[in-house]
A = this chain, B = another copy of it.
Amino acid sequence: MAKYTIGLDYGTDSVRSLLVDVETGEEVASAVFHYPRWEKGMYCDAPVNRFRQHPGDYLEGLEFTIVEALKQAPAGVAENVVGISVDTTGSTPVAVDEKGTPLSLTPGFEENPNAMFVLWKDHTAVKEAEEINALAKKWDIDFTKFEGGIYSSEWFWAKLLHVIREDAGVFRAAYSWVEHCDWIPAILTGNTNPKTLKRSRCAAGHKAMWHEAFGGLPSEEFLTALDPMLAGLKDRLYKETFTCDVSAGTLTSEWAEKLGLSTDVVVGVGAFDAHLGAVGAEIEPYYLSKVMGTSTCDMLIAPMEEVGDKLVNGICGQVDGSIVPGMMGLEAGQSAFGDIYAWFKRVLEWPLKNILAESELLDEVTKQKLINETSDKIIAKLSEEAAKIPIDESGIVALDWMNGRRTPDANQNLKGAIAGLNLGSDAPRIFRALVEATAFGSKAINDRFIAEGVRIDGVIALGGVAKKSPLVMQIVADVLDMPIKVARSEQACALGSAMAAAVAAGVYSSTAEAQKNMGGGIETEYHPIPENVEKYKALYAKYKKFGKFIEFEY
């Protein structure tokens, strides 16, 4: 009888399970659960970029998606599930008590956003990230150096520091802090003790300044210099970290029963969604795996002996084993990608949602239908029209920093810009320039890797934009002057988790072996068009020049 693993992929808005045949890679069943509290906007304050998630959303999704997928699967499958692995967004830490229970699940903190998971894209800690950077720059050891040299407000310590400053009560009540990707395996295996639960190398190394060279987390002196309230916390966090090929334990009887699985099921150590997405999309050495969605996460693996501890400046992380155990994992990314298209869509929707919505010509139901119908078609129609516009015809050049810049050289204070507008600059022309800007942002990252001595042989793309937009993909291929393979799996992150589970459960001895057997292969390949490549060189030079002005002189 075949064996199966379950990959569980916690995204920003929903969690998805994927039940996979470990021998053939066949995706047997899948289920999705949208976070109900999150969907209502609870605990969030979008205008100030406060994004929090309630642990209940995660727990309910955990149970629902696995039970639901097993329901869809043929009889006998549940009995043959051998492993579960989890990927989540990150850094998405939560304050926990001594038992590892998120404070928001304990009395007195039920409605407190600071006692919730602080979602990756929460930007309330911009000031605290600046503090960390300021201190890191004058400290004898630069603890940020393996994280690109610039600490982000999206990361672990900045978020903790922000809670200290904003809500000391929560911070004092917290015994420790746990990343989302560590908490789910902890719950499933029953080992929620913050001092002993298995911590992900990926989260620790990329977001918490953990590194073997530092003997673990940053020194007590550094942390207490940031804030005296951090004193002693280090001892209640962790020293050791684990890659995703390691087992975190087996299912507790309680969860085995809830899910309808055996207590023999191995639960792998968790990792971040993008990283396991890269695994699912069959990342290989020197191929940049680009998760292209609202933002991008660009990952590259290289043999330790070739990259080793050589620092790659200006990217956002390099951690031994963070993507594929045994390989150096290098991470970069763009703070906004599809989000820029979505922003422009929102701008264009404004008359629909603010004027047409008030019209008395139609009844409410028809009006809402019409608004939704129109709104839903905006990106597709813009893409269709933008595809007809010759490169460089519009003269518009944009900067893709509408959500700051993650890499190269993180700077969250940067903003987007559009130049070259005239009275004939219509919506498709502006849209095309925004797409080109996101491609130029990708090129700046590739250039940096290469300048730092890390070659790139090609790109493997995954994520919503990679799957859905041939316009964007062709432009990126032309701008990068590099072929791009699009991974076939619709659920690369969940598939990567299922692969990791297969390794953690001992079905395969390495990630590469799991990929070889379970991988879905390539769906499409985009090849750069030489004529376009040449034209984009000139536009890219304008992008760089414009960016330099906005960054340094404006």
Contacts and interface: CB of A to CB of B under 8 A. Distances in A.
A349 B346 contact: no
A41 to B, nearest CB: 15
A423 B403 contact: yes
Contact of A426 (B347, B359, B546): B347
Instruction: Tell me the number of copies of this protein.
Output: 2
Nearest to A373: B359
A402 interface: yes
A197 to B, nearest CB: 35
Contact of A553 (B340, B425, B549): B549
A417 B415 contact: no
B417 A420 contact: yes
A359 B355 contact: no
Interface in A451-474: none
B361 A369 contact: yes
Interface stretch (A88-96, A163-171, A374-382): A374-382
How many residues of A sit at the interface, in one of the four size bands?
35 or more
B346 A348 contact: no
A336 B424 CA distance: 12
Contact of A351 (B343, B349, B359, B420): B349
Interface in A410-446: 415-428, 430
A47 interface: yes
Chain B CB count within 10 A is highest, among A347, A349, A362, A385, for A347
A554 interface: yes
Interface string A311-355: 000000000000000000000000010011001001111111011
A258 interface: no
B421 A415 contact: yes
A134 interface: no
29 contacts: A339-B423, A340-B423, A346-B426, A347-B348, A347-B426, A347-B430, A348-B348, A348-B350, A350-B426, A350-B427, A350-B428, A351-B374, A352-B374, A355-B374, A355-B378, A356-B370, A356-B373, A361-B370, A362-B362, A402-B421, A402-B422, A403-B423, A415-B419, A416-B422, A416-B425, A417-B418, A417-B419, A417-B420, A418-B421
Interface of A: 47, 336, 339-340, 343, 346-352, 354-356, 359, 361-362, 366, 369-370, 373-375, 377-378, 381, 385, 395, 402-403, 415-428, 430, 542, 545-546, 549-550, 553-554
Q: What 7 A-B pairs have minimum CB-CB distances, sorted nearest first? A: A350-B427, A416-B421, A417-B419, A356-B374, A549-B549, A355-B374, A343-B423
Given A347-B425, A362-B362, 11 more contacts: A347-B427, A351-B352, A351-B378, A352-B374, A355-B374, A356-B373, A361-B370, A415-B419, A415-B420, A419-B554, A549-B549
